[in-house]
Each structure stands twice: as structure tokens, then as C-alpha cells.
Amino acid sequence: MTSPDKKSGEAYWKATLNLLTVILVLWFVVSFGFGIILQPALDSIHLGGYPLGFWFAQQGSIYAFLILIFWYAARMNKIDREHDVHED
């Protein structure tokens, strides 16, 4: 394979790490944040019959994980093309 020159390789890796940081911060906030640490406080708000903190812990965080993975996959495809390291 032809490896991209060093400078563009570094820019690509930096863009990847930036996206990764955003994803992991959101991952932490919806589960550890809303589902655990803030659960007692959020439970005073209701989402239908669900106390909100309980909803995040048993439903919401899972939906959020799904959105995060597909968003990551789509953004990474774009970053791959921008830095000309995409497959085929």
C-alpha cells in the first residue's frame, strides 16, 4: 500500500481523535451522568410514567449508544474521504 505522507497522516489522526473524544464524552454523559450520577435528581422529572433518571438508565442510554455508533461511522467515512485514506 502507499502510505499517505506524514503531515496528512497526522491531520487525519487528529481529526479521528477529536471525533472520538466527542463520542466518548456523550457516551459518558448519557450513561454514567444521566443514568447513574444524576439519576436521583432527574427522577423528579417524568417522561410519561417513567421517572427520567430511571428511563435513562434502562432505556434512554441504550438508544443514545445506537445513535452515537451510527453517527461515528458516518462521520468517520467523511473524514476518511477528506484525508484521502478511504478504501477502494
Give contact residues for another protein (rule: CB under 8 A): 1, 3-4, 9, 12-13, 16, 20, 23-24, 27, 31-32, 35-37, 39-40, 43, 46-51, 54-55, 57-59, 61-63, 65-66, 68-70, 72-73, 76-77, 80, 85-87
Closest alpha carbon to 39 in 29, 48, 49: 29
**Closest distance to another protein from the beta carbon of 68 (Å):** 6
Q: How far is the CB of 49 from another protein (least distance, A)?
A: 3
How far is CA 4 from its chain centroid? 27
CB of 77 to another protein, least distance (A): 6
- DSSP characters over 29-82: IIIIIIIIITHHHHTTSEETTEEHHHHIIIIIHHHHHHHHHHHHHHHHHHHHHH
